[in-house]
Amino acid sequence: MDSRGVCQFRLCTVGKNATGRQGGAGLFRSGLPAGSNALSVESRPGKTGNFADGANEIDRVVALASVLSGDWEAVQEDIAAVFSACGTTPLKVIFETCLLDSGAIDRWCATCSETGVAFVKTSTGFSTGGATVEVAARMRRHLDEAIEVKASGGIRDRETALARVEAGATRLGTSAGVAIVSGGKVSPAAY
């Protein structure tokens, strides 16, 4: 995507993975794509430079294996440790909702509400599906009202974007932001 278009339309955030990060405002991604980073590495502020080098929010993918096996204690510990390491930097926890049943989504929302994260996000964009209206609405219903929902994946046009916002999303994750705000369309993604 052309960064001039992102700036022209005042779109929110450009994300960076840990490698090559050299300060500056932005988003630090932790655990992409399946939450496989070791908790001991991810949750130590200042030890790796990841949490203390200017990010204005942190994305965390919790280990999907823990969620899928029902190890909610491990999920809670992971979110709480990274939340603590973030200090005053907002934490966004990324679900992979296309792989989860409604019970797992509800439980994950409860865990995020108990911890007090700033945002939850429907998907990483690396799996089999993206944000649906139903999932965005379900997450909104099962979260503390202070937690924002970011719908991500498969949002390629204004109609789809507005449907996710009407369902309760306050942010959208899309590579089609310029097309959406300018009324255009982008060809469908893999999902």
150 belongs to the catalytic site = yes
Cis amide prior to 90 (ω within 30 degrees): no
Identified catalytic residue from 2, 106, 121, 185: 121
185 belongs to the catalytic site = no
Q: Which residue has the tokens 């089609």?
A: 176
Cα–Cα dist 178/11, whole Å: 8
Identified catalytic residue from 53, 59, 106, 185: 59
Identified catalytic residue from 2, 150, 157, 185: 150
Cα–Cα dist 5/73, whole Å: 43
Q: Would you please indicate which residues are annotated as catalytic (active-site) residues?
A: 59, 121, 150
